[in-house]
Each structure stands twice: as structure tokens, then as C-alpha cells.
A and B are shown apart, each in its own frame.
Chain A
Amino acid sequence: DQQVKQNSPSLSVQEGRISILNCDYTNSMFDYFLWYKKYPAEGPTFLISISSIKDKNEDGRFTVFLNKSAKHLSLHIVPSQPGDSAVYFCAASGSNFNKFYFGSGTKLNVKP
């Protein structure tokens, strides 16, 4: 039972443009969401998070949007850079949970 879904396995974007990565979840009890970035042969690294009391969180070029009614969140990268090319994982957790649930990842390729 996959409670966090990333339906796009891959995304290709031109350098300087916006990258939008999407994530859907099914459990309305989730109240904390995270994005991780993973380069080949490395572990995932934390990128940005958002609590359910917010609908937007911004950190430099990275912004996460949360739509609780749609159970959907997205990660925007503006402007995209070739160094952003990696696999991005969405994860969810919450005060009623003691673990993180991960999506299957989206491989982003930013073309120079």
C-alpha cells in the first residue's frame, strides 16, 4: 500500500527554466512533508520540508507548495541548474506516525 506517490519517473528541463516535481499522498493524517535529493552512489540528502499548517515554504531556488484538500505537494526549482540533476524523493510523516513514507522518486535531468 503506497501512501506516497510520485507518478512521474523522470523529468527533463532546460537550464534556467522552472522544474516542477509532483507528489500525491493518500493518508490525511500526514502533517509533515519533506523532499530529498539523491545523487548516484550517495544517500538521500534533505532538501526542504513543509508543515501542514503552511501552504508554501521557500528556501532560495527551492519552493514547496502544499495543497491539503487535494493531498498534493509540489517542489519548484527556479531557475534550474545542471547541478540539480538528481533523483528527488518526496516523503511524508506526522505527529501520529513514527516513521517516514517515501515516494518512488522522480529523476530530474537539467540540460545545459
Chain B
Amino acid sequence: EAGVAQSPRYKIIEKRQSVAFWCNPISGHATLYWYQQILGQGPKLLIQFQNNGVVDDSQLPKDRFSAERLKGVDSTLKIQPAKLEDSAVYLCASSLGTGGDTEAFFGQGTRLTVV
């Protein structure tokens, strides 16, 4: 079974530039998550989709971050404009359900460096 695919693996951009990340979840997984992991911290949920609808985006900085999940499968996360504090690993995960007794499966992440 293929895992969660993310691209790119690494990205370096200057502040105020824009960047986009792509995620392809495990086939059949209805729930998709985008997490931000800053060095030394645990993953923090940015946005959660159930199929192509947003379930939770309470911690997404909506003035600069946006995400979409077209047709309930692939998803993109965009940052525009980027700030230095956005430097982090961006993890995409998917699960069959939403919390409860199901686990989330993570991709390898995209390491973003904003200079």
C-alpha cells in the first residue's frame, strides 16, 4: 500500500515570496491533515479536511496561509507571503476516520526555510 506522498521535500525561499506544497493521501482515506512542526516542538494542526470539506482550520493563519482539497483527494497548502517564522517542516497526514480510534499516517514532510 502506497503511503502519503508529499512534494517537494525541501524548499528555500526569501521572505515575502510565495510557496506551495502538495500532498497525495493514502487511497481511500477521507480525512487529510496539514501539520506544521517547528524545530523542537510537536506537530501543530493547521487544517483538517473531511473529503473536500474543511473540518477545522482554527489554527491556520488565514491572512497568509490557504489550503484546498480538490475532489476530496490531493491537497495543496500555500503560503503567501512567507515570513521568517514560517520556517518549519510541513507534514501532511491522512486517516480513515476523524480522531476516535483511528491513527493518522504521515508523509515525509516538506522542510521549508525562509531566509
Cβ–Cβ contact A103 & B42, under 8 A: yes
Q: How far is the CA of A94 from the CA of B108 in the complex (A)?
A: 25
Q: Among B40, B43, B91, B108, find the residue whose CB has the most chain A CB atoms closer than 10 A.
A: B43
Given A42-B108, A43-B107, A99-B56, is A32 in contact with B42 using a C-beta cutoff of 8 Å? no
Kindly state whether residue B60 has any CB partner on chain A within 8 Å.
Answer: no
Confirm or deny: A28 has a beta carbon within 8 angstroms of a beta carbon on chain B: no
Complex CA gap A34/B4 in Å reads 19
Q: For A46, list chain B residues within 8 Å (CB).
A: 103-105
Number of interface residues of B (CB under 8 A): 28
- Contact between B41 and A93, CB atoms less than 8 A apart: no
Of residues A4, A36, A93, which shows the largest number of chain B Cβ atoms within 10 Å of its Cβ?
A93
* Contact code string A25-52 (vs B, CB < 8 Å = 1, else 0): 0000000101010000111111001010
Question: How many angstroms between the C-alpha atoms of A63 and B91 in the bound complex?
Answer: 27
Closest to B105 in A: A46
Instruction: List 16 other contacts, CB 8 Å, given A43-B91, A46-B103.
Output: A4-B42, A34-B103, A36-B106, A42-B108, A49-B103, A93-B99, A94-B100, A98-B48, A98-B55, A99-B33, A99-B48, A99-B98, A100-B33, A100-B99, A104-B42, A105-B40
Nearest B residue to A102 by beta-carbon distance? B42
- Within 1-22 of B, Cβ neighbours of A (below 8 Å) are at 4, 6
B99 in complex: contacting residue of A32, A43, A45, A104, CB < 8 Å:
A32
